[in-house]
Structure 1
Amino acid sequence: SIATVGALALGDFGEAAGVMIFYKIGEFFQDMAVNNSKKSIEKLMSIKPEFANVKDKNGTIEMMNPSKVKVGDILIIKPGERVPLDGVIVLGTTTLDKSALTGESVPVIGEVGSEILSGSININGTIEVKTTKVYSQSTVSRIIDMVQSAGSKKAHAEKFITKFARYYTPLVVLMAILIGVGVPVFYDGNFKLWFSRALIFLVISCPCALVLSVPLTFFSSIGKGSKDGILIKGGNYLERLKNIDTVVFDKTGTLTKGSFKVTKIEVMKGSEKHLIEYAKAGEFYSNHPIGKAILNYGDVEISEWDIQGHNEKAGYGVNALYSGKEILVGSRKFLESHNINVELPEAFGTVVYVAVDSEFIGRIFVEDEIKENSRKTIDELKSQGIDVYMLTGDNKKTGKHIGDILGIDEDKVCTNLLPQDKVSKLEEIKSKSKKGTIFVGDGINDAPVLAMADIGISMGKLGSDIAIESSDIVLMNDDPYKIIEALHLGQKNNQVVLENVGFALGVKIVVMILGVLGIANLWLAIFADVGVSVLAVLNASKILSKKN
């Protein structure tokens, strides 16, 4: 506006019109680029369900707002409809499209007992779902909240540019006044010449390119991540990804699938049936994958009424009173801490020991399958010069075996860890790190270490609620290779920020000098501002391209 009024005052009507015309053209391209970057967020917002079909006890179906549905209600979800709340399928089989949540294009099978996430699309079968969470706690609601609030957590680069513009803009206006008024007063008295040069200087120095392109780069990166199933909770966490030299993995549910199965049973006293019965009594209230594997094994059933007492010691085992007998189910250390001698060699694999009335009666072997991309992820991290550690509660023999399969150095496999040990171990690892440390986990016990790491990454599909809340980045499909994608995204974001800042400042400084010397005219000044802004914005928007 100042430049246009000034050009009119000088009688340069063509240049006055040119300033406004090219500013409007520049704004048009800027708006187009910004709108393109917003599309991924808007697409994410479209997964918000508009209604839920709730079935009452009489079989009547009522359409209602998802926010009014209660835990335990039965939902009817027809083909083509979006799942409104998290739940468990209780009737029917279907195929589910989870691409909007996880970035995976391949549909998955949903059958009775399968967990189902809100925001998924039911493709081809009518199903009944029993809700397990209210709408505010469901996956779709939490994803939208996380992405919307990500903009409030600004990176240092964004904060610096905002602060820089606050002082830079009035400073260059003052400099333009000095050029337009001060120089002719103290130098040659040619007010028209220097006033014209001051207007050119003013147009060139406008900080649009910096103020717009840097936040847009972070916004585009967060949008790209959300589209690919990587929820980054703020620009500050994205910025930290550029300086990482250590990644620490929890084992179960992170590098492994967390779906255990019983593979072997060794009976020391009594029958196999009794061993399974007592093990199930101890694990009856367990939410741990190992406990669930034991509960799902065989056809031995127990009654909750026969369990008179139950006390779990996290990371060790369970002490229960069942049918008048004292049951101990847990690790070898747990039994030995109760003065029960286990006269057996240390077993390979994950082993659950069982004792009844202070007498060791047998052990149950369970195995966990390693995720497909775990080895690939670790190999690529190591190829980038990043140290990789694995934390596990398994014994040393088992931990070494899994570490060998995954390609993790033996001295970086930390075994026999209780939940509280993970905190001290991560502190020790962080003290060796020269840049930054990522911790990747999924369980309730991982929440303290997720919060303590420079960047905490949690598994969003199977991970616990508290782990997701404590983390800075959530991987929606539990694929560890998404860590590599997140690191690449952080590096690409940093690269684009540096490109934009360097390009914008470089062009402006050169054209400013040319303007003061009288070599650059108002048209070149317009390019130095509007043209550079458009190019910087388009450069920021390229992060959203599918190729990246």
Structure 2
Amino acid sequence: MSEEKQSHEWILEGIDCANCANKIESGVAKIEGVTNSNANYMTRTLSFDVDKQKENKILPLIKSRINKLEPEVTLLSKLTRFPIGKDGLPLDENKEISHLEDSDHSHEKDHEKNNVKTILSRLIIALILLFVANFVPMNEMVSIGLFVAAYLVAGYDVVWSAIKNIINGQVFDENFLMTIATLSAFYIQEYPEAVAVMLFYQVGEVFQGIAVSRSRRSIADLMDIRPDYANLKLADGSTRSVSPDTIKVGDTIVIRPGEKVPLDGKIITGASSMDTSALTGESVPRSVKITDSVLSGFINKNGLIEVIVEKLFSESTVTKILDLVENASSRKAPTENFITKFAHYYTPIVVIFALVLAIIPPLVLPGATFNEWIYRASIFLVISCPCALVVSIPVGFFGGIGAASRKGILVKGSNFLEGLNDIKYVIMDKTGTLTKGKFEITSIQPASGWSKEQLLELAAYAETHSSHPIADAIKEKYEERIVENRITEYNDISGYGIQANVDEKEILAGNAKLMQKYNISFTESTEIGTLIYVAVDKEFAGYILIADAIKEDAAEGIALMKEKGVKHIIMLTGDSKAVGAAVAKKLGIDEFYAELLPQDKVEKMEEIMARKGPKEKVAFVGDGINDTPVLARSDIGIAMGGLGSDAAIEAADVVIMDDKPSKIGTVMQVAKDTRRIVWQNIILALAVKGFFLILGAFGFATMWEAVFADVGVTVIAVLNAMRVLKK
């Protein structure tokens, strides 16, 4: 019997490095009964699953383990924002709560500014002490004392963290490496260099922190679509500003010009234009009127509208999108997992090599001194920090996910973003994906003696009492008001069409069999689509062609995917072969399968999956409503989210919010840009570190170069990773 799991998500308030997040993730994962441990440095969250029956025993162990690994980190419940107590559960409002940093965005920015100011003040004091000790004539012991004071002012937190980590059994991190390296410099009486290196390291850490924070805030600002309030309409007609999460389904809200739409609903009064760019990436406003749906996250541009709420705030589009973007980087890409494992082994190996470098050469090489080789070993230790890798790579993927969201594309994880690079087969549903999924009149062909307007009017009156989608398409095209008393007789002939008397004339509207049934002479069309033939008093008046119109950018989307490296684009449809062939030919699709039932689509997917190479991926693109089995079976499921379809958002790995097929090529380009930047950072970091490791081993590099190889490269790599947001 499988154990029932309970999911938890905690905020890691105060986590300041990717390596610390990795330590927490691996430490929590080792606790028996814990699965899916994931510490996300970019969102500063820890998610994990525990055995529900043992939850009361496991949660306190997790809390204790994190406190031991990272004592400076404060744990908050993601759901309630209350601190986690000793029992591993969030404290409630009635318990005494010690002072805790508020986690909102503005306070966080102020807190970061204060931290930067404090560190810079310390570094200025340390710099002054270093200058005095190095350049002002004084007693040697006083000078050494000032060097020690400058060192402690600049780096006491680094040394203290190293000591605590050693006590807790966590040796190989940047604090330990920097402490041992600088203390080694003190040991060989290189006092100015030891202090200066600690200063430079701390300055680099400040810049690294600022760069990472900017990256976080860039994406937070990008997704700043959460509404602050909603104008609830009261029974007396007045309005009151309330929190969106207090609004109930069926309530009426008022949205004024310039305000965000706070909840999903339908317009009951007014008309306006909506800025949908935050959700769809589209810069052109969308016109809306009574009965149209609007989504939370839209911005009302001009008119005053009233909306009846159809979803709670917790189920609204904006909440789902924000949760998806925030949690996307918890699904790590293979590159991220590889670098985490690489750093886990790389650092201890370099430390062991540094120890060998400090001891063996002085014992073997003639004239070699311990001081010289200890100095070289210290350089090795500084260079071995894997910060540039473990920080810049998550920043790169996080930035890629943010860049996609800016374009109205939701990618549910770094693994899916990286997987988009390997797509060679794209299988596309037709209806709702390549076509609009809505019947429209595409052609009106009147017979001699009739006009298009007359033919449309006759067909609209004939279809007045029909609820068929084809009838709806005709009535929607005929924009005049239908006068019911003009119709004196109405007969629905099943399988043929409609017979009606309009203005005392017999109107026949239906398929070719209806014309043949009444022996009406007509010219049968070979156009692809649904044909409605119309006759008046047994004389042919013309025909109307109704089809599921192809999306404007469908052909562009197909061409763009081929340009991005997709080898095979395959269309699946339940329509007839004639319709499938016409659409495939028009869009440039070489392979299609028609007249398929839903279960047939899964079989075709299995056949295509068997054709792909070991490193190739298959993507399925559908509307996310009736294509769930195929979306789930594909390597990457891409859904046309449309107006925030719940099924689309739930089923797919990538959601196109505005239904445009061309966005598939766009997100593939974002994935390629992200991968290129990530690998630029990997190559840069390893090349610079390798170069300076060799220089250090042969005595050509100083501590200054070593710190640049660590902190300097990290800052450059983080700034490079942020470029993907500008793409």
Query: Shorter-normalised TM-score: what interval?
Result: 0.7 to 0.9
Contact 1:92 1:125 in 2 (8 A): yes
User: Is residue 540 of structure 2 the alignment partner of residue 382 of structure 1?
Assistant: no
Contact 1:40 1:224 in 2 (8 A): no
**Distance in 2 separating the partners of 1:527 and 1:183:** 26
Q: Where does residue 62 of structure 1 map in the other structure? A: 240
Q: Where does residue 605 of structure 2 map in the other structure? A: 426
Q: Where does residue 394 of structure 1 map in the other structure? A: 575
Contact 1:26 1:530 in 2 (8 A): yes
**Distance in 2 separating the partners of 1:451 and 1:202:** 47
Change (3 A) 1:326 1:483: same
CA deviation digits over 1:193-231, x for unaligned, max 9?
Answer: 111110011111111111111111111111111112111
Amino acid at match of 1:85: L
**Distance in 1 separating the partners of 2:525 and 2:624:** 26
User: Is residue 327 of structure 2 the alignment partner of residue 133 of structure 1?
Assistant: no
1:24 to partner: Cα distance: 2.2
Contact 1:38 1:223 in 2 (8 A): no
User: Is residue 663 of structure 2 the alignment partner of residue 482 of structure 1?
Assistant: yes
| Residue number among 416, 430, 434 corresponding to 1:255 in the alignment | 434
**Distance in 2 separating the partners of 1:240 and 1:252:** 26
1:18 to partner: Cα distance: 2.2
User: Is residue 297 of structure 2 the alignment partner of residue 119 of structure 1?
Assistant: yes
Spell out the pairing of 1:127-526 with structure 2 (5 A cutoff).
127-187=305-365, 190-261=369-440, 276=463, 279-280=466-467, 293=473, 348-351=527-530, 366-386=546-566, 387-409=568-590, 412-434=591-613, 435-462=616-643, 464-526=645-707
Change (3 A) 1:352 1:11: farther
Contact 2:384 2:710 in 1 (8 A): yes
Amino acid at match of 1:231: L
SS at match of 1:47: coil
User: Is residue 196 of structure 2 the alignment partner of residue 14 of structure 1?
Assistant: no
**Distance in 2 separating the partners of 1:392 and 1:291:** 23
**Distance in 1 separating the partners of 2:632 and 2:482:** 41
SS at match of 1:95: strand
**Distance in 2 separating the partners of 1:161 and 1:225:** 24
Contact 1:147 1:231 in 2 (8 A): yes
Amino acid at match of 2:673: K
Contact 2:564 2:669 in 1 (8 A): no
Contact 2:228 2:244 in 1 (8 A): yes
**Distance in 2 separating the partners of 1:44 and 1:500:** 24
SS at match of 1:153: coil
- Unaligned residue ranges in structure 1 (runs of 5+): 284-288, 303-324, 331-340, 354-362
User: Is residue 209 of structure 2 the alignment partner of residue 31 of structure 1?
Assistant: yes
CA deviation digits over 1:181-202, x for unaligned, max 9?
Answer: 3433455562111111100111
Q: Where does residue 286 of structure 1 map in the other structure? A: none
SS at match of 2:546: strand
1:35 to partner: Cα distance: 2.5
CA deviation digits over 1:331-359, x for unaligned, max 9?
Answer: xxxxxxxxxx9799997544499xxxxxx
Change (3 A) 1:202 1:450: same
SS at match of 2:715: helix
* Aligned-CA RMSD value: 3.2
Contact 1:119 1:140 in 2 (8 A): yes
SS at match of 2:257: coil
Q: Where does residue 249 of structure 2 map in the other structure? A: 71
**Distance in 2 separating the partners of 1:511 and 1:162:** 22
**Distance in 2 separating the partners of 1:20 and 1:290:** 76
1:154 to partner: Cα distance: 0.5
1:180 to partner: Cα distance: 1.5
1:157 to partner: Cα distance: 0.8
Contact 1:213 1:536 in 2 (8 A): yes
Change (3 A) 1:301 1:453: farther
Contact 1:37 1:223 in 2 (8 A): no
SS at match of 2:629: helix
Contact 1:456 1:473 in 2 (8 A): yes
Q: Where does residue 333 of structure 1 map in the other structure? A: none
1:530 to partner: Cα distance: 1.9
Q: Where does residue 281 of structure 2 map in the other structure? A: 103
Change (3 A) 1:241 1:166: same
Greater RCO, 1 or 2 (C-alpha within 8 Å, sep 6+): 1
1:328 to partner: Cα distance: 7.9
- Unaligned residue ranges in structure 2 (runs of 5+): 1-178, 446-457, 485-491, 498-511, 517-523, 533-542
Contact 1:278 1:327 in 2 (8 A): no
Amino acid at match of 1:126: L
Amino acid at match of 1:490: A
| Residue number among 709, 713, 719 corresponding to 1:532 in the alignment | 713
**Distance in 1 separating the partners of 2:724 and 2:332:** 18
Contact 1:450 1:467 in 2 (8 A): no
Contact 2:624 2:652 in 1 (8 A): no
Change (3 A) 1:94 1:45: same
**Looking at CA atoms only, which structure, 1 or 2, has the larger radius of gyration?**
2
CA deviation digits over 1:475-494, x for unaligned, max 9?
Answer: 12222111111111111111
SS at match of 1:141: helix
Contact 2:258 2:299 in 1 (8 A): yes
SS at match of 1:257: strand
CA deviation digits over 1:482-524, x for unaligned, max 9?
Answer: 1111111111111122211112112212211221111222122
1:296 to partner: Cα distance: 5.5
**Distance in 2 separating the partners of 1:342 and 1:50:** 60
SS at match of 1:119: coil
SS at match of 1:437: strand
TM-score by length of 2: 0.63
CA deviation digits over 1:50-106, x for unaligned, max 9?
Answer: 111122444242332212222222111111111001111111111211121122222
1:421 to partner: Cα distance: 1.8
Change (3 A) 1:64 1:278: same
1:375 to partner: Cα distance: 0.9
Could you tell me the percent identity over the aligned residues? 47
TM-score by length of 1: 0.82
> How many residues are aligned here?
496
Change (3 A) 1:252 1:87: same
Change (3 A) 1:261 1:72: farther
1:379 to partner: Cα distance: 1.7
1:467 to partner: Cα distance: 2.1
Contact 2:561 2:664 in 1 (8 A): no
SS at match of 2:716: helix
Change (3 A) 1:444 1:275: farther
Change (3 A) 1:326 1:452: farther
